[in-house]
A and B are shown apart, each in its own frame.
Chain A
Amino acid sequence: MNLTIFLLALFDGISYAALVFIVALGLTLIFGVMRILNVAHGSLYAIGAYATVSLTGFFLALGFAPVFAFPLMLVSAVLVGVLLGGPIEWLLLRRIYDKPEVLQLLVTFAVFMILEDVQRLVWGTQPYFRASALQALGNVTLFGVTYTVYQLILLPLVAIGLLFGLRFFLRHTVIGKLILATTEDREAAQSIGIDADRVFLFTFVVGAVLAGLGGALASPTTSILPGMGADMIVLSFAVVATAGLGQIGGAAIAALMIGLGRSFAVYVWPEVAVLVPYLIMVLVLLVRPEGLFGSPVARKI
């Protein structure tokens, strides 16, 4: 492996890790606060990508500049969060918070099944590809390797920004503190007047926006196909499980491990590249069943 290939693999891995991290961040935030694993998270990711492609196509056809694709990504993400995430929490999850975990899992799984067909109905089965945002930012040459600015600089910056932004938000803003208090003890939070229902709704919408944003940001870099949601939920679960459920900072490190592992495998042994994330997860869980940064919960007896 020469230096050029090494750098290519490194850059691939970083940009891929950034995308996966953004999606995983939403998944782990929702789990951390609500103790629910949203299997439909992958669908929200896919719909975020589809929505971005459609909106960008529409506005660019009207004569808008390619840079306009960036605000449209945000719009798509927020639309996914509010129009899909909101109703899912409000109409379904709210009814099952006190139910067994398996039941909650089945409910979000059912939503996942529904949304997979919704995508097919709205966007069909043909692949979409629209790289205007990618092209708008041009390329950068680093150590003799030319790479897109979008993937090498923008995506990692967004990921890092979200990581620290979310940390700051949770620790230093009033709403963030309300969320943390509710996470700690829902009943105690309610007894001091926190509207836990609204905190949960807000958290779920934010998590869903992150899924949609992941999809929106991924859309210029890849073809958008049916089934990408199913892949992403398992992949982001692998990241979240490797890190430890609910571990925000840990998810960033796990995403890097998995992203880099996968991209190096692409150059070394391409057939197994898809398997690498799961192999990493299984290896980590064999040694640390609670994930890298999770801690075992001892049952009180």
Chain B
Amino acid sequence: MSDISQHSTSRGAVKSGGMPSLRALLTLLAVLLLAAVPFIAPSMQLLINLALAKGIAVLGVTVLLRAGQVSFGHALFFGISAYAGAFLMASLPAADLILVLIAGVIGATLSGLLVGLFVVRYRGIFFGMLNLAFSMIFWSILEKFYHVTGGADGIRLPRPTVLGMALERAGFEAVIFYLSIALMVVLGWFTLRWFASPVGQVFQTIKTNETRLEYLGLSPKRVLLSGYLLSAILCGVGGSLMAMTQGVVTPEYVWWVRSAEMVFIAVLGGAGSVRGAFIGALIYEIVRVYASAYAGDIWQMLLGAFLLVIILFAPGGIMGIADGLMHRGGKSLTSTRENAE
């Protein structure tokens, strides 16, 4: 339990140790199963869609965990992207879905650069808390300047057109759903490749030795900024998808509880694991929907308690446990074969 992101150290990504084929197969099966949801469990479609949007945002938090940093304010980029989309729709009715997404990503990138330039000077406590402070600042702005932002009620984000076509509700929901799956696959794949690339590997050395980084002729701040931008963009994509799915954006998008939720899911799924971010988000959303009926009042308390349990007793999260099981399974398989021979 010495290290929250121990389960998937940098090496795991570089050399997919263990059973790459089994892992790839399971991933493929999971994606196919998700894609089949509108047909086999239509009532779950909206729920799963929200989970996927959150999962992409959680991936952003996961990226930072790989550098040993935690941000308690990444809902900021989630929210900025959502509001950017809503403002675009307000000024340009019937704008295209792609345009909304792009506006969101641009908003997240620019704010990520601005906040990033400041916070990459810090690590650990300061990094986490300054991110929180920035999200609180933006939250206050949304609440106080209500004539522009709609205050606590937020603003509606009407349904955008899709490649020029105005779709019905059901059709639009299907488009968003499959777009979310596609983005999950593409961004998840990209993030895995990035982790294994020279740039991504250098980014992960922030966690272990910045002195050496400096003596390799690199600026630790710039290195951290590159990952910070990626994380802000991922949160932005998630926020944009969430806003289009829900059709309304509120200050709740940037509220610290949302940031905390993202950190929680990242740690639950397996800090530092790309697949874990999505598995964590799916499990979290499903449990939340069914549990909130019984435990709505103590939901945060349950999260907090569960977070403590994971950190203290299963720091690898769900993916850590799964890896352990697969590893053990693999071993027993070998031993069986040896016995047979």
Contacts and interface: CB of A to CB of B under 8 A. Distances in A.
Interface of A: 37, 39, 92, 95, 99-103, 105-107, 109-114, 116-118, 120-121, 230-231, 234, 237-238, 241, 245, 271-272, 274-275, 278, 281-282, 285-286, 289, 299, 301
A95 B1 CA distance: 11
A299 B305 contact: no
A272 B137 CA distance: 10
A245 B125 CA distance: 10
Contacts of A234: 129, 132-133, 136
B301 to A, nearest CB: 4
B297 A289 contact: no
Given A102-B68, A106-B4, A230 B311 contact: no
A271 B140 CA distance: 9
A282 B70 CA distance: 19
B208 to A, nearest CB: 11
Contact of B137 (A100, A237, A278, A286): A278
A188 to B, nearest CB: 24
Nearest to A281: B133
B256 interface: yes
B299 interface: yes
Nearest to A120: B297
Interface of A is mostly: helix
A285 to B, nearest CB: 8
A46 to B, nearest CB: 14
Contacts of A117: 297-301, 304
Given A113-B307, A117-B300, A299-B211, A289 B121 contact: yes
Contact of B311 (A101, A110, A286, A301): A110
Nearest to B65: A102
Contacts of B129: 37, 234, 237, 241
30 contacts: A37-B125, A37-B129, A39-B72, A92-B308, A99-B1, A100-B68, A101-B124, A101-B125, A102-B4, A102-B65, A105-B70, A105-B124, A105-B128, A106-B263, A106-B307, A109-B263, A112-B304, A113-B260, A117-B297, A117-B299, A120-B297, A121-B297, A241-B130, A271-B144, A275-B140, A278-B136, A278-B137, A281-B133, A285-B121, A286-B118
Nearest to A238: B133
Given A103-B311, A105-B125, A275 B300 contact: no
Interface of B is mostly: helix
B305 A114 contact: yes
Interface string B68-88: 111010000000000000000
B70 A102 contact: yes
Interface string B43-71: 00000000000000000000001001110
A99 B308 contact: no
Contacts of B110: none
Interface string B234-277: 00000000000000000000001000100100010000000000
Interface residues of B, number: 46
B307 A110 contact: yes
B325 interface: no
Nearest to B124: A101
Contacts of A271: 144-145
B102 interface: no
Given A95-B312, A278-B133, 10 more contacts: A101-B124, A102-B70, A102-B124, A106-B4, A111-B304, A112-B304, A234-B132, A282-B133, A285-B118, A285-B130
Given A106-B263, A109-B263, A113-B307, A282 B301 contact: no
Name the residue in A114, A230, A245, A285 with the highest tally of chain B Cβ atoms < 10 Å from its Cβ: A114
Interface string B1-45: 111100000000000000000000000000000000000000000
A11 B78 CA distance: 39
Interface string B135-155: 011001100110000000000
Contacts of B65: 102
B137 A110 contact: no
A231 B263 CA distance: 19
B126 interface: yes
Contacts of A101: 123-125
Given A95-B312, A106-B311, A234-B132, A100 B3 contact: yes
Given A102-B124, A109-B260, A274 B133 contact: no
A278 B68 CA distance: 25
A106 B145 contact: no
Contacts of B122: 289
Contact of A114 (B140, B256, B300): B300
Contacts of A237: 129, 132-133
